[in-house]
Amino acid sequence: MAHQTISISEGRRRLLELADQAKETFERFILTRNGKPELVVLNYEDYESLMETLEIYQTPGLLKELEQRAQDRAGGRVKPRSHAQVWRG
């Protein structure tokens, strides 16, 4: 994914522009203070995706379980079910 590195002071001046650009183009911005990275501006969808990924990696056994389920689907050991079928039991 593309990103731009800009100073915090420039980021402050351009905040609305950066927010629009992040939302529309999924661009990420690294804001620096004295040349060192301090903040990241990214759209909410990317943030949610990152949080979900962190949760998967931090939950013991979840990654292995997801990998096993993917293998089961690929191997034809699991039949797809509709939303209605899942909730009926």
Residue 69 pLDDT class (50, 70, 90 cuts): confident
Which is more confidently placed, 83 or 89? 83
For the whole model, what pTM was predicted?
0.65
Average pLDDT over residues 7-11: 97
Task: State the pLDDT confidence band at 89, using cuts at 50, 70 and 90.
Answer: low
Residue type, 63: L
From the number of C-beta atoms within 10 Å of its C-beta (0-12, 13-18, 19+), residue 27 rates as middle
> Dihedral through CA 11, CA 46, CA 54, CA 87, nearest 10?
150
Cβ–Cβ < 8 Å for 10, 41: no
Domain boundaries, the chain: 3-42, 45-77
What is the CATH architecture of 3-42?
Answer: 3-Layer(aba) Sandwich (3.40)
| Residue 2 CA from chain centroid, whole number | 14
Whether pLDDT at 1 is above 70: no
